[in-house]
Amino acid sequence: MATTKIDSSSPLSCDLLYDILRRLDGPSLAKAACTCADFSSISKDEILWERSCHSLWPSTDRNDVRTLISSIGGFRRFYADCFPLIVNEDIPAVQTEDDLPYPEEWAEADYYGDIDEIESVSPSDFISIVDLRYKEKTVYSKVIWGIPDSDGYNGWFHNCPFRIDLLSYSGEDGGEVLLSGDDGLPPIASLERERKDGRLWRDLYEGIKLSWIVVNSKLKQAANLASWSPVGGQRHWPADTNFLLRFGSILPARDILPCQVAECIILMKFSITDTGNGEGGMATAVRLTELSMQLEDMAGAHVNGRSSLLVLKEALSCRRSRNYSEVLENCHLYLKVQNDFKEEKIRNESWFDRLYIISSVAVVSAFCYCYIL
């Protein structure tokens, strides 16, 4: 049987190629674009990338978000910016107190740079696009225009710790976020059993995926600040029925903070609302009680609003990677350096405490001696 060669210039062949590419997800579509000239040409179609974005981030299917993405370069560029995760290669080596001055030892003006740059960064320029998935099913989406409770440049926001608490701004798409057996949550027999085997905890840790994209509409840049999968967590904190998951990334803060880096911490807390009390295992439900983002420096201090705006601006041009292992390694390296710094700080504080006690005892002894005489 003779084979028929399809002419690549014919409309039919282009339709067939397009039909193939439209069935691919984003990573597969990007790989296909590198295989041949035909795929490369067709893969530039914005509709293909729009579908990929909607599939991965349902929030992008809103009309206002579509308009925003079109204004900053289109869905193809948006996907290329936000699918890879942030990797900061400028994490400093283990530092001592001499290397990392305390806040009272450095002037803000030395790190904020040109005042014109500060004034050019406005809270209203930043948009948060958040999507929470559990076992490939979207359970929560939210879009926040601007940074809530920021009252202009001279407002309290710039001098207070930066924090966005997503559940505090329900708006039109508010309401409780519940996960149950219908969503694939495993049943547990009791809290006692859960403390022993951690079945529910492991399921949440492995099944939850989070994307927190920040867009700067003025700079026309976007980046995903979340780590997609948790980088850490804590069981039964602060009570037996609570779980805490930690996401985030390490952001550049050169010439903004003394430590030159900042950690974007995204916290997610779940509370068990229904548990079984029999060995057979009963239905389980958990409720999302917190989804927040804040920035901390190397010493663990909260970064204020003014510095946070500058850090977020720098993060939009930071290096990205599709290698999740590299992202995790980057986060773990930062935590190691941070822990080493805190230990060094504690050792120094302990030494000063001992010196203070010795000095105090000496003064009291001298006073008592003079009083007796």
| 261 shares a domain with 246 | yes
How confident is the model over 93-116, as a mean pLDDT? 47
| 55 shares a domain with 122 | no
The answer to whether residue 356 is domain-embedded is no
| Final residue belonging to a domain, choices 44, 60, 83 | 83
| Final residue belonging to a domain, choices 63, 83, 103 | 83
- Total domain count, the chain: 2
| 134 shares a domain with 68 | no
Count CA atoms within 13 Å of residue 334 on its CB side. Answer: 29
The answer to whether residue 173 is domain-embedded is yes
Distance CA 294, CA 232 (A): 16
| 57 shares a domain with 78 | yes
Distance CA 197, CA 370 (A): 66
**pTM assigned to the model:** 0.81
Give the torsion sign (CA, 230, 261, 161, 346): positive
| 317 shares a domain with 217 | yes
| Final residue belonging to a domain, choices 24, 52, 83 | 83
Predicted confidence at residue 344, as pLDDT, reads 76
The answer to whether residue 352 is domain-embedded is no
Residue 303 has pLDDT above 90, yes or no: yes
| 161 shares a domain with 19 | no
Task: Write the pLDDT tens digit of every residue in 168-211.
Answer: 865 555 578 999 888 999 888 888 888 888 999 999 999 999 99
| 131 shares a domain with 22 | no
The answer to whether residue 33 is domain-embedded is yes
Predicted confidence at residue 114, as pLDDT, reads 46
The answer to whether residue 360 is domain-embedded is no
| 73 shares a domain with 209 | no
Q: Which range has the top average pLDDT, 20-24, 215-219, 258-262, 327-331? A: 215-219
| 335 shares a domain with 223 | yes
Mean pLDDT estimate for the chain? 80
Helix, strand, or coil (residue 327): helix
Which residue range forms the structural domain that includes residue 274? 87-342
| 277 shares a domain with 183 | yes
| 174 shares a domain with 140 | yes
Please tell me which residue, 300 or 143, carries the higher pLDDT value: 143
| 293 shares a domain with 144 | yes
Task: Write the pLDDT tens digit of every residue in 235-245.
Answer: 988 888 899 99
Is residue 297 within 8 A of residue 289, CB to CB? The reply is no
Distance CA 203, CA 187 (A): 11
pLDDT above 90 as % of the chain = 43
How confident is the model over 272-277, as a mean pLDDT? 70
Q: What angle do CA 84, 234, 92 make, to 5 degrees?
A: 50
Helix, strand, or coil (residue 252): strand
The answer to whether residue 332 is domain-embedded is yes
Residue 214 has pLDDT above 70, yes or no: yes
Residue 346 banded pLDDT, cuts 50, 70, 90 = confident
The answer to whether residue 327 is domain-embedded is yes
Distance CA 256, CA 20 (A): 47
Helix, strand, or coil (residue 11): helix
Lowest average pLDDT, out of 120-124, 225-229, 360-364, goes to: 360-364
Helix, strand, or coil (residue 139): strand
Predicted confidence at residue 111, as pLDDT, reads 44
Residue 18 banded pLDDT, cuts 50, 70, 90 = confident
The answer to whether residue 279 is domain-embedded is yes
Please tell me which residue, 249 or 4, carries the higher pLDDT value: 249
